Amino acid sequence: MIGEVPDKSACIRSLGRVLKPGGKLVFAEAFPDPDRMSVGELRDLVEPENFELVLATGNRWHDVVSFRTPA
């Protein structure tokens, strides 16, 4: 769903401000979605905003990528 957001970086910064320390941010991206973001694209977007990758998993239909804020 983040693929549909016009200003993705601003969105991630806002989420970082409202999540408590150690809070989770989870993305589920489906492959047929034309705005789908890959695991690498999500990492490039989210990690510079001080989020840490927790889990990246998926199959041929979708990816689930989880990040957390510093504790």
pLDDT of residue 8: 97
- pLDDT at position 47 is 98
- Residue spans of the domains in the chain: they are 2-68
pLDDT at 1: 80
Report how far apart, in Å, the C-alpha atoms of 63 and of each of 31, 37, 57 are: 8, 9, 6
Q: Are 66 and 24 in contact (CB under 8 A)?
A: yes
Low-confidence ranges of the chain (pLDDT < 70): none
Predicted pLDDT of residue 45? 98
Cα–Cα distance for residue pair 31/12, rounded to 1 Å: 22
